[in-house]
Amino acid sequence: KFTPSTITFNAFVTENNKITIDSSVKSISSLSSFINLLRDYPQTSSVSIDRIDNQSLTTSVNVLIIVKLKEDNQKWKKYSKT
């Protein structure tokens, strides 16, 4: 399983060679595991956390993750717009 069960996706946006993931995380260890999985993915160029917001009314943390893909991955885009 790629995504730990303690992570919920609020938004998932792909644009050119970038994926933006807005998520709610209930466990920092799960977030670390997910970030490491993203970094280890062969088509990943870089992974960064752009925002961490503590949700005071819930037990989760809102996290914005940016994944940049290697340029070679752009080839699939011309085929995926059918």
Query: Which segments of the chain are extended strands (E)?
Result: 7-15, 18-25, 44-54, 61-69
> Tell me, what's the pLDDT at 59?
83
Q: Which of residues 22 and 3 earns the better pLDDT score?
A: 22
| pLDDT of 79 above 80 | no
What pairs with residue 24 in β-bridges? Answer: 8, 62
Which strand ranges, in their side-by-side order, compose the sheet holding 7-15? 7-15, 18-25, 61-69, 44-54
Joined together, the tokens standing for residue 26 give: 């209930």
SS3 8: strand
Mean pLDDT of 59-65: 92
pLDDT, mean over the chain: 85
* Spatial contact of 55 and 31, defined as CB atoms under 8 Å apart: no
pTM of the model: 0.78
